Amino acid sequence: MTTRLTLLCLAAFIAIILLAGLLLPSPIDPVAYRPTPAPALDGVYHHNDALLAATRLAEGQVSGPEGITVGPDGAVYGGTDAGDIVRITASGALAAVEVIANTGGRPLGMAFDSEGYLIVADLPGGLLRVSLDGDIEPLVTEVDGIPLSFANDVAIAKDGTIYLTESSTRSDLNSGVMESLEARPWGRLIAYHPGANRAEVIADQLYFPNGITLSADNDYLLFNETFRYRVQRFWLQGERVGQLETFADNLPGFPDGISRSPRGGYWLTLVAPRSDLLDRLHPYPWAKTLLARIPESMVPEPPRFGFILALDTNGTVIANLQDPASERIFAASSVEEYDGHLYIGTLTGNWVGRYPLHNEPESQHAP
């Protein structure tokens, strides 16, 4: 009986897909993409539960703090899916949450500039400057006549230049699944020069550029191309200035946030593990067209999984922190090292994670 019921449910699901494929227009125009087979979760990616040592700050007091940063005052700042920018002040296991401002949109990545302002990538507001008194000033709302429809993350150079990832020029946070299925390069990398009040595109045709950070010497940028499972490097100085190259490739999940460790190297979050079904569909545009026609509410949610990697300055994975059962950490979307801890943002959780670095497995080495 159970087997028969399973087969009936599967047949009904297939029928819905076929019916939708015949009756509904497709929201995407996908192309074929043949991803490299996902690496096994062994060796450098071996299963572990290191992130069980993490605690949750402000649990139940924030919703979806996707992008976080640690301020000069040691407090954690983040943006919620209600549009709030919050300050989280922790004292032991307790945390106080204060709303600094509300953007009216979805604040994502953020960083403090040298004057103490929060520079925020907001959807759909673009690039914002936010004072800790709550004043909000739009800095960039369009570049080259194209609105900033999906500003995602920021990094600020020593000379004050603000670098911004725009994940897509044609979609928003609610259409990430469609962006992944389409497999087209709609993203841009933007530089904003505050002194001249000028923004320019420094790289385009990118595959969902996401988290971004600068090298210690500011000679290059690193940013994640989430739907290509890789970290890219963009050179700002030297013989290769203006060139792109792959820094870390064929990751076992979807890279989201990246940050520089104050001790050297980089921390990288994987917001979800790779999907075998998605990888198998990618070479077949017709199949992706059919799938895109069904209601997004029927698309299975990605499995919860806590996953953070450490990379050295050559892009080699040197630490692997996991929470496979998602007991403490899942959907990790940003990470910042501060005062012996990792602070972890989450796309869908209601907390900010705090992981003590001294609890790392002895066989692994942090940056």
Q: What is the DSSP string of 314-363?
A: TS-EEEEEEETT-SS--SEEEEEEETTEEEEEESS-SSEEEEEGGGS-TT
Nearest Cα residue to 278 out of 301, 255, 257, 295: 301
Query: What local confidence, expressed as pLDDT, does residue 362 receive?
Result: 42
Residues 198 and 144: beta-carbon distance below 8 Å: no
Query: What local confidence, expressed as pLDDT, does residue 303 receive?
Result: 87
Q: Is the Cα torsion angle 323, 347, 65, 182 positive or negative in sign?
A: positive
pTM of the model: 0.91
Query: What local confidence, expressed as pLDDT, does residue 363 receive?
Result: 42
Query: What local confidence, expressed as pLDDT, does residue 22 receive?
Result: 52
- What are the φ and ψ backbone dihedral angles of 122, each rounded to 5 degrees? -120, 140
Burial of 195 (0-12, 13-18, 19+ CB in 10 A): exposed
Structural domain spans, the chain = 44-359
Q: Helices marked H in 112-210 — which ranges?
A: 176-182
Look up residue 143 and give its two tokens: 């570049």
Look up residue 76 and give its two tokens: 């954690």
DSSP annotation of 227 reads G
Residue numbers of the chain with a pLDDT score lower than 50: 1-2, 361-363, 365
The number of residues in the chain equals 367
Query: What local confidence, expressed as pLDDT, does residue 301 receive?
Result: 76
Query: What local confidence, expressed as pLDDT, does residue 326 receive?
Result: 96
Query: What local confidence, expressed as pLDDT, does residue 149 receive?
Result: 87
> What integer best gives the mean pLDDT of the chain?
91
Residues 58 and 88: beta-carbon distance below 8 Å: yes
- Cβ contacts of 237 within 8 Å, gap of 6 or more: 217, 218, 219, 220
Q: What kind of architecture, by CATH, is found in domain 44-359? A: 6 Propeller (2.120)
Instruction: Give the pLDDT confidence of 310-349 residue by residue, as tens digits.
Output: 999 999 999 999 999 999 999 999 999 999 999 999 999 9
Whole-angstrom CA distances from 46 to 42, 104, 252, 264, 320 are 4, 42, 11, 23, 8
Residues 219 and 227: beta-carbon distance below 8 Å: no
Q: Helices marked H in the chain — which ranges?
A: 2-23, 176-182, 276-281, 285-293
Query: What local confidence, expressed as pLDDT, does residue 5 receive?
Result: 52
Bridge partners (DSSP) of residue 121 are 127
Q: What is the DSSP string of 28-55?
A: -------PPPPPPSSGGG----GGGG-E
Look up residue 221 and give its two tokens: 């940028």
Bridge partners (DSSP) of residue 87 are 77, 98
Whole-angstrom CA distances from 215 to 193, 219, 225 are 19, 6, 17
Residues 218 and 262: beta-carbon distance below 8 Å: no
Alpha carbons 305 and 337: distance in angstroms, whole number: 20
